[in-house]
Amino acid sequence: METKHWTSHDELNNQAIHEAAERLKQGETIAFPTETVYGLGADATNDHAVSQIFQAKGRPADNPLIAHVGSSDLIYDYVTDVSEDAEALINAFWPGPLTLILPAKSKLAENVTAGLTTVGFRMPDHPVALALLQAANIPVAAPSANRSGKPSPTAAGHVLHDLDGKIYGVLDGGMTGVGVESTVIDMTLDPPMILRPGGVTQTEIEAVIGPVNLAPSLQAEDDAPRSPGMKYKHYAPDCPIWIVNGGAERMKQVAHDLQQDGKRVGFMVSDERAIDLDQDHVYRLGSQKDLLAITRHLYDRLRQIDNSDYEIILAEAFPKDGIGEALMNRLEKAASETIE
C-alpha cells in the first residue's frame, strides 16, 4: 500500500480532512497529529480496522488503546458511567492531554479494550485532530503512530519513517506541541489513580477533584531496580543512555572516564549545559528555563540518537516539577542507568 501524505500545505483543507474521515469510516488506518504525539487512528467500533493498527505497529494485542473523540458527548454511548469527578475533569481539561479510564459498554471493538471492562477516552486539543474526529463522528482508537519499541512520533516524518507503506495515510500537521503522551488516569478507582504522567499534571488534577493516587510503578525511586514486570515493552534505544545527576563538571568527569575506555560518548542536554560542557557531540533539548520546550524535543532527539553511532549518551536530569514529571518519566524509561 502506498501511504498517502496530506502535507501541512493542505492540513486544514476540508477536502483532505473529509477524505481522511471517509477512509477512517471505511476501516482504513490514518495517522494524525494531536497536541501530544501523532496517533494512528482506526474506527474503534470496527474490529478489523483496529486489528490493522496492531499489525502496522507490531503492537502486543493485550495492550489496550485510547479512544479519541471530537466531542465529549460521544463518550456517553460507549461508557456505562461518568462520575462527577470524571465530568469535572472533562470540563476542566478537554480538549487536552488527559485520558480518562472509564467503565466500558461492549459496543466498542473488543481489541480496543484488550478484553478489559474499562476503556480510555480522550479529546485531543489539536485543530487537525478535532476536525478529523468531528468529520468522522465516531470514536477513533489511536495509539501513538510509531512502530512498537520506537519513541512516539512528534512529526509526520517520524510516522513515515516507521509506518510508510503500512498505513493508509498521514495528515501532516507539523511538529506536535506537548511532545509526550497524555496523562492517563483511572477513574474507576476511588480515589482515582494516575497510571501515566503527561501533559496535565497531578497538581492540576488535584486542584479540580482533590487527592488522587499515583500508580505504584510511578512511585519507585530512581535507584530502585528496574522492574522487568513493567509489562509492556517501552522504548529502549540501541545506544545506552545514562542520566547524570549533578552539574557540567560531574558530567565531564563521567565522559572523560568513558572516553579513557575508548567509548564514543555523546550528550543530550539543555542549551545552558551545552555551553558549560563545550563539547562537540551534543544533542540540545532547549533552554533549562523552558521545560516545555525540552519535553517537546525529547523524542526527536532520541530518534536522532538511534541513528547515531555513539556508544553512550549522557543525559541531563531535570527537575520533576510540572511537566518535568512526565519528561523525567519518559527519560528514565529510556535510560539504562542513573549516575549520582
Out of 3, 34, 111, 148, name the contact with ligand TXA by CB under 6 A: 34
Give the range of 35-43, 87-95, 284-292, 316-324 binding ligand TXA by CB under 6 A: 35-43
Does the protein bind ligand TXA through residue 118 (CB under 6 A)? yes
Residue type present at position 43: D
Does the protein bind ligand TXA through residue 213 (CB under 6 A)? no
**Which spans of this chain sit near Mg ion (rule: CB under 5 A)?**
144
Contact assessment for residue 60 and residue 232, using Cβ atoms and an 8 Å cutoff:
yes
User: Where do we find the cell 520533576?
Assistant: 320
Interatomic CA distance for residues 276 and 267, integer angstroms = 12
**Of Mg ion, ligand TXA, none, which one does residue 159 interact with (CB within 5 to 8 Å by kind)?**
none
Taking the complex as a whole, how short is the minimal distance between the CB of residue 167 and Mg ion, in angstroms? 15
Taking the complex as a whole, how short is the minimal distance between the CB of residue 178 and ligand TXA, in angstroms? 8
Residue type present at position 46: N
From 50, 49, 95, 39, select the one nearest 69 (Cα to Cα): 95
Does the protein bind ligand TXA through residue 53 (CB under 6 A)? no
C-alpha pair distances (Å), 114 with each of 63, 103, 171, 182, 330: 6, 13, 27, 19, 24
- Using CB under 6 A as the binding rule, the residues of this chain from 64 to 93 that contact ligand TXA are 64-66
Whichever of 69 and 209 has its CB closer to ligand TXA, that residue is 69
**Of Mg ion, ligand TXA, none, which one does residue 63 interact with (CB within 5 to 8 Å by kind)?**
ligand TXA
Interatomic CA distance for residues 69 and 75, integer angstroms = 7
The total of other beta-carbon atoms located within 10 Å of residue 147's CB is 16
From 53, 36, 79, select the one nearest 196 (Cα to Cα): 36
Residues that bind ligand TXA (CB under 6 A): 34, 36-37, 39, 63-66, 97, 99, 101, 113, 116, 118-120, 124, 142-144, 181-182, 184, 195-196
